[in-house]
Amino acid sequence: MSCDWDSQGRVDGDIDQQEMVPNKKSAVLVDGVVLNGPTTDAKTGEKFVEEACKLIMEEVVLKATDINEKVCEWQPPEQLKKLLDLEVRDTGESHDRLLKLCQDVIRFSVKTNHPRFFNQLYAGLDYYSLAARFMTEALNPSIYTYEVSPVFLLVEEAVLKKMIEFIGWKEGDGIFNPGGSVSNMYAMNLARYKYCPDIKEKGLFGLPRLTLFTSAECHYSMKKAASFLGIGTQNVCFVETDGRGKMIPEELEKQIWQAREEGTTPFLVCATSGTTVLGAFDPLDEIADICERHGLWLHVDASWGGSALMSRKHRRLLHGIHRADSVAWNPHKMLMAGIQCCALLVKDKSDLLKKCYSAKASYLFQQDKFYDVSYDTGDKSIQCSRRPDAFKFWMTWKALGTLGLEERVNRALALSSLREMEEGPEFWEKLHLVAPAIKERMMKKGSLMLGYQPHRGKVNFFRQVVISPQVSREDMDFLLDEIDLLGRDM
């Protein structure tokens, strides 16, 4: 069946629509669908991409370091719904309208690259990582086999090798994951598989009651992982910490013995290097001694603090990490590789990751390919499609070098200790009364963004996270002065 289209291939609707009918005579139709020729007007699409990139450059990149710009333009949810055209419709919209939507998205989004964004464990703008992200978004790869993603698989291999060296292992394995929470889940499941390999095929049936141990200051992903994997949150034993938030080794060993006496089976200890709230580093050497005595897998959640390994001055904070069986490390945090960029690193070199997670899909992982199939690393992931997250970290590392990354870590830690305030009952009481109110005022003003929270008996306090190399001494002073200004009438 065929039909004739007008000379411009035009159909009803706006001429600026992205989806256009091909400029073809005698177009072939099957069930009303055009089968010959492209269905997208490439020139129109290219023009939109060009204009959108210009907008990103002008409104995001060039303004990233401007302290006179607002951190955010706060709107309550219902008001923001009115300001944004969120509804999707049956017909496409003009490019002018789409660009206006892009402007609105930028305008009302939090500027996490602003020098005065201190709210989360990520901040700042790394230009090399950003360029790498542009490239991967344009290329749209998925890294499961070498044949479809040769460059990015080799990049991941190279980056993992260097990260393993910084941990202090002579060899190892690893994989990039969508978040430190997923890396922790991988490690928990890997430790269980190492203890009981039959679980992969036989499931939980017949297993003893397993218990794991982690710091009372650990990331909440440990409870989520235990729930998700069927271990159960009641079988996560939280070990008491000292006044600085570090796990107390004596309490750990006491809980291990107690668990055995109660008839449960310990299999994993998760230490933390850089806790979410206090930034504490657990004493890894002492914890490793205990794990060796009891035959337990030691995982270190260094999602936040792992980047201190890049610093010759501060790597002592992770002394003993080379004794861990697995490590979670997120370069998107202190090293600013861009969300998300998270690696699980494993000391084992016996293909434990692959043995644990492989499904041997015959349509992807054929063993008779014409190249070395050991580069088809996707079968050691629980994912099929996987983003090339290592590439943006590699690009930054290539641009700055190890010394540049070391300087980034040293500067962040130096700024974090720039000014200290004495603690005392009156200090905590005042913060408890004013912190939520000041947070509301700073958000509505847009001058900076800083988190707060209570913590284990302590009243509300501000939690400042310093990462971006754009943060200066003046920004640190501004933060304290702005808090004082916003709360002066309280």
Quote the DSSP letter at residue 4: -
**Which range (14-18, 130-134, 151-155) has the least confidence?**
14-18
**CATH label of the domain that carries residue 366:** 3.40.640.10
What is the pLDDT, as a whole number, of residue 490? 63
Tally the domains of the chain. Answer: 1
Domain-embedded: residue 406: no
- Please, which pLDDT band fits residue 427 given cuts at 50, 70 and 90? low
Domain-embedded: residue 178: yes
- DSSP letters for 386-444: ---HHHHHHHHHHHHHHHHHHHHHHHHHHHHTS------HHHHHHHHHHHHHHHHHHHH
What is the pLDDT, as a whole number, of residue 430? 58
pLDDT, tens digit (0-9, with 9 covering 90-100), for 139-173 = 999 999 999 999 999 999 999 999 999 999 999 99
Domain-embedded: residue 367: yes
Over the Cα atoms of the chain, what is R_g? Answer: 26
What is the pLDDT, as a whole number, of residue 439? 77
What does pLDDT average to over the chain? 87
Domain-embedded: residue 341: yes
Domain-embedded: residue 161: yes
pLDDT, tens digit (0-9, with 9 covering 90-100), for 450-461 = 777 777 666 677
Domain-embedded: residue 424: no
What is the pLDDT, as a whole number, of residue 428? 56
Strand-strand pairing, 342-346 and 173-177 = antiparallel
Which stretches within 270-388 are classed as H helix?
284-294, 352-357
What is the pLDDT, as a whole number, of residue 418? 43
Q: Which residue has the higher pLDDT, 490 or 367?
A: 367
Domain-embedded: residue 369: yes
Give the sign of the dihedral formed by CA 450, CA 454, CA 455, CA 458. positive
Structural domain span for residue 150: 140-392
| Beta strands in 64-125, from DSSP E residues, in sequence order | 117-118
Is the pLDDT confidence value at 5 over 60? Answer: no
pLDDT, tens digit (0-9, with 9 covering 90-100), for 37-61 = 777 788 999 999 999 999 999 999 9
Domain-embedded: residue 375: yes
What is the pLDDT, as a whole number, of residue 224? 96
Alpha carbon 7 to chain centroid, angstroms: 50
